[in-house]
Amino acid sequence: MTVAAFMRPRLVKVKRSELRQNQRATLKKAKGRTVVVISSKEKAGDKLLLDKQYFDDMVQELRAAKETLAIMSDPKLFSQIVTAAETLDEDVRLGRLHSFEEVFGEK
């Protein structure tokens, strides 16, 4: 799933009373990137109902973003990566790089 999909979920608002009366139908609405906002009288009391796969994908994307930020905030490591990237095409062309299977004997 793309980052844009995470940034713009489809929101469906329902009241708590509607959830109680039509629980099965309301639960079915929380599918894919559709998030059900269960509203209450207090704004801080609103709850979200979302698809587990959507939640898992979102957590995975956030972890990847955290790792990327950690790498980018380490000047020495980031410099090494940028330097290696500059010669990557040439290294591939000259056969200096090995596949995962060649190095570890696994697939």
Q: What is the pLDDT of residue 93?
A: 84
Strands (E), the chain: 10-15, 34-39, 47-49
In-domain check, residue 102: no
User: For residue 81, what are the domain limits?
Assistant: 3-95
How many domains is the chain built from?
Answer: 1
pLDDT tens over the chain, length 107 residues: 666 666 789 999 999 999 999 999 999 999 999 999 999 887 678 999 999 999 999 999 999 999 999 999 999 999 998 888 888 888 878 888 888 888 888 66
Determine how β-strand 10-15 pairs with β-strand 47-49. unpaired
In-domain check, residue 37: yes
In-domain check, residue 28: yes
In-domain check, residue 68: yes
